[in-house]
Structure 1
């Protein structure tokens, strides 16, 4: 056994030496090195490395961009009897699964600043802390498949809250994050620690913008959407065609997930609805891109938040015992804590769960 172990270390050393020798004087790509290290079992798959649950220190309210106030969550961060709120963001169009491994500091900065600073810097966030919540953030590589990210989320949930036997955890998830959350909920047994999941503006039946059959008819916007959805995660957002509204469209992953309803009593749905396709409750912060998207989707019968039709965010055709909540005439990104009205409505909703 000892001789085999020595031979193994020698082989590993030779492989590493050959890699670094080949790089001398050449512009070796870091991702090539990462691939070799991954094959040698020295690196996690990028998506596993990326996916993490973070604990946010309450002191962050004094310095919302200071990554010293965010850290990888541990079971010791969980205070028994105190409410927990987990924030899960949606799809990031810039994510790709073939990039270099970011540093832990890079990932912490992304979670705290890029994804959630728009909420953390508001008095509504301060009020959530005053309401008694411990706050956590789950971040993940959105270009990976939703099935993988759902499994990763469930791993972190169980790892962190597995010893909690009373329902103290509330998940808030926006957009793709809602599908990741629902996927996690239906893995394993029903988690005792989960009180509720508030899923906001989630394309539970998918989005026409992610479907090739819809993209090809929409000129420049369709071409742009096609480029942005050329990842496993983006592809998972295709319209599942539950209503037969897009000829040839399908999404077996979402159709299979829709067939699972036994734990939907834990799920509460909110959404935005620009019901006439052009009038916004906060027109000053509605982006020009979203206004254009609404102007295209609405005439095609896909009324909603300009990205997700309400039939998708309401999960039409899927039984849910809880009433859905219309947040108002807001586009897809406005409903994600981005206006004072939606922040107030979401906080109120969370406190009633």
Structure 2
């Protein structure tokens, strides 16, 4: 009798072990197999969250099929205690294993809300925006001018959230003074910039910043980036340029940047100035005259006077015979590359054409015709 009982018990134990092994294998497979998400989502993990709470949130969002397996898998992989607060973009079809890795890896949030401090040529703006996971595009929630407007509630709310990301976006063509002035109003940064950096030395781009970061460190990142861009462009420059060194290329790039906002025109504008320099002609470009008036400290806000066009300043290219002594703004990568690799043309003139672009010409006769057309457009607009 006892032998029979022992035999049955042994059989039951063997079956139980096989069943348990099957459950474990099934659980392991569920943990690493493709998940049920049919579109990506943004998962916000608040400070102090637990893996149990996150698993419930993931279940409610339809990102995982079994919260228990998710928790056991995170514990088995020694990641249960490594949960990181933030907003994490969970791609469609992510497995439990992949999700665990995403929410325990750390680093900057990959979705959610961000505040962008935009430094523009004519104005600066603070924008609150949020990533829409369905379209993978940011949606604006609020925007205001920090120099003139009160802070909207949407901005005050996200500033209190620990997972909000911050970014400083610098437009092409802004001056170093404008950058320093605008950074002083970026409320997440600290410290003062003791001296305005040399004109042209800061790379226009988008820079992620953190709360409490020193303003000088942001400036230094911009400077290092511009150094690398300029060095690479100069290394790959075309032959026969009327430029002696990278700094002259930077000066020319800043003029190109201020002369056109049409990306496709940069190479043509660069060719005009290159041809003029090669022929010993004056550049005769208004943005350099404006810089001689403002020194880069703000926007002129009006047309140039005849007296200013005739004034002898180091930057007035209607008076001086070559490049001005310094850049007149901070040019972007595309303008720097255009300066050292201009289009191959015979153009030596250009004027606005009424569409936002320019009409280019090889001869003075052709240029005068383009100027006459532009004046007709100006007169018509003035009468409307």
Structure with greater contact order relative to length (CA < 8 Å, sep ≥ 6): 1
For the pair shown, which has the larger CA radius of gyration, 1 or 2?
2
- TM-score, with length taken from structure 2: 0.24
- TM-score, with length taken from structure 1: 0.26
